[in-house]
Structure 1
Amino acid sequence: MDAVELARKLQEEATCSICLDYFTDPVMTACGHNFCRECIRLSWEKAKGKKGRRRKGSFPCPECREMSPQRNLRPNRLLTKVAEMARQHPGLQKRDLCQVHQEPLKLFCEEDKSPICVVCREAREHRLHRVLPVEEAVQEYKSKLEADMECLREEVVKTEKMQAQWEQALAEWQAMVKERRTRILVEFEKMTLLLVEEERRLLQALKEEEEETTSRLSERKASLDQQSHTLEMLLLRLEDRSQQEPLQMLQDMKDTLASKDSLQVLCSEATPPMVLRTVCRVPGQVEVLRGFQEDVVPDPASAYPYLLLYESRQRRYLSCPPEGSALCSKDSVSDGSHLHTYSQAAFPGPLQPFFCLGAPKSGQMVISTVTVWVKG
C-alpha cells in the first residue's frame, strides 16, 4: 500500500459517517460504530418523532440499524487522536480530495482547467479531455505564471515611471500656474502704482496749466475792465463838454483832445482757443485697444457699389460717399475723446465700418496702400 492510499484509509477512519467531516468528540455505540457525539445526539432526537417498535431508551444505529441504548455511548479517545492527526496532515486537507468521489485529486484537466480524481477521469465529461498528472501540470503552469508575472512586473515598472512623470508634470504645471498668478498680481500691482503716479502727474500738470491760463486770462480781463472804466469816464467828460456853451466848450479844448489822444487802448483780439495741453492718456490704453484691432479689407461682394476694388486690393477707388450712414464723426478722433455709445443692446446683423476722407474734388477718391520699407 503506497503512502497516498494509506493516507486515504486514514482519512476514512477519521471521518464521521453522518457529517462526513473529521470526528469531533467521537463516541462508540454498543454495536461498535463511531460518531461525533453531537451528530448521534441529533440523529436520535430526530428518531424520537418517528413511529416504530423500539425499546425505551434505545435508538437504532445510523450504520447498522441495531438498537443501542443511549446511555451506553462510550468516548473513543484513540479515534480523537487519529482525527487530530488527519486534520494536521498536509496531504489530507479537504481541498485535496474530490468533493464528489472523495478521491485524491491526482490529475489536471486541460480543457476545464481544474484538478480531477481518477474516477472523474473515466466519467463522460472528462473522458475525451486532455489530462495531465498534477505534478506535470504544476510545472507547466508554474512556468506560464512566471512568464506572466515577469510581464506584469515590467508593466508595473513602466506604470511607475509614467506615474512619476505625470506627477512631475503635475507639480511643474502647478508651479507654472503659481508663478504666473504671482506675476499677474505683481504686474497689476505695478500698474496700479503706475496709474496712481500717472494720475497724480496728470492732475498736477492740469492744475499748473489751469493756474497759468487762469492767471493770464484774469490779468487780461482786469486790464479790459480798467480800460472800460477809463473809456466810460472819458466819454462822460466828452459828452459833458459837448453840451456846454460854444465859448465855454472851446475853452480847454486842447487839454480835452490831448487826454483822448494820450489814452492807450488795448488792441482787440479774439477769444483765445480753449484747448487743453494736458491730455488724458491712460498708460497701457493703446495696448488694450490693440487687442480689439482687426484688419479691415473691403469685400467685393458686400462693398459699396461706388467702391472700385482691384484684384490686388492695393488701390481702391470711391466715386462718391453714400447718402446716409449710421454714425459719423470727423472731430475729436485724436485726443482720446468719447465718440459714441450705442444705446441699442443688440443689432439684427453685423456692423460694417464706413470710412470717408471727405468729398474728392475730382469725383473719385483713391485709397492707396502705404508700404513701409525696413532696412535690414
Structure 2
Amino acid sequence: MTPKKPKSENSIVDIAKALGISPATVSRALNNNLRISEATRARVKEMAKEMGYRHNSMASSLRNRRSNIIGLIVPRISMYFHVFFITSLQRQLQAAGYNLMICQSNDSVSVEKELANTLYSARVDALVVSLTLYTENIAHFDGFLRQGIPLVFYDRVPTRRTEAYVIKGDDYRGGLLAGNHLIQAGCQRIAYISGPLSCSIYQERTRGFVDSLAKHHIPLRQEWIYYHELTAENAWDSLRKLFEGDIIPDGLFAANDTTAIAAVAFARERGIAIPDELKIVGYSNDPRAAIITPAITSIEQYPNDMADKVAETLINALQHRHTPSPNTIGEPLICPVDLVRRMTT
C-alpha cells in the first residue's frame, strides 16, 4: 500500500487569496501590527484559524534574531530543588514573554555537552545551567559567551572564575550551620556523607562543615566521611559501614535529604533512637523531610528565591542592557540559606 502524501499546509499566501488582500497585510495582521485595522486583524486571524494555518516561529526568529526561548539544562528534573526552581522560573519568564525549553543532563557530562550544542543551534536567547556532578571543564558553553548570549550558571556552578553570570546558594554557610548545630546539640562523634567533591556545592558544604568542627575542636574521623552520589542505595551502604564498629557516630550531617531520610530508616531498622542516640541534619529542606517520622532537621535553600534572582538577571540582560544589573558577570550572587530545626536534633 502506497503511503499517502502529507497534505501541504496553508500559507500566508493562501490566506491572502481567500480574503482578497496582500500577503504583506496578512503577515502584519498576524503579528498584531497596529498599522492594520482591528477589524482586518480579526478577519485574518479567523481565516487563519479556519484554514489551520501554523505560524513558523523558527523562520520568524531567524528574521528577527530572537526566538523568545530560554534554554535550561538541569541535572535531574526529579530533584526537589529543581522542581520548585523550574516552576518559579518558568512562571516569571512566561510573564515576561519568554518560553522555557527544559533539558535534563542526567548528570552526564557528555549529554550536557550535546544539550549545550543543541540549544546553541536552536538559537535560544539565553541559557541557564546547573552543572552535572562531574563537570569541571565548561568549554562547551564558550560559544554562548563569544556570541554575547546571556549565560547563567546556578546552584551547581563552575569551580573556577567564568565570564558568565553565577547565582548560587551559600553552601559554605549551610555546612557551617549543620556542623555548629550538631555540636551545640551535644554531638562529639560526627559522621559526614557528601556528594562528589568535583561538584561546587559539595566542595562548599564540606568546607563549612570541616571549619565548624575545627572551630569547636571536634576531631574529624576520615573513616567516617563518604563522598559519592547521594542516592538512597549509596546512603545505606555508607551507613552500614559507619555503624559496624564498636565506636559509632552520635551525629550525622547528610549533604542531601535523600541521604538523611535513608539514615532515619536505617536507624529505625537497627533500633537506634533518634535523637537520643543519633542526631541527623539533612540538606535542601525537601518536603519529605517534614512529614517523615521523626521529622528531619535540614538546611533550607529557598529555590524560589534563587529562581527570582535568575529571572531578574536574565530579563535585565535581555531587555534592559543599558541599566545596572542586579548581578555582575563573573562575580557570584550568593543566595541565603537557613537551618530548620525538627525532631532529629
TM-score in same-fold range (> 0.5): no
Greater C-alpha radius of gyration: 1
Give me the TM-score of the superposition, normalised by structure 2: 0.18
Higher strand share: 2
Q: TM-score, length-normalised on structure 1?
A: 0.17
Work out which structure has the larger RCO, using CA pairs closer than 8 Å and 6 or more positions apart in sequence: 2
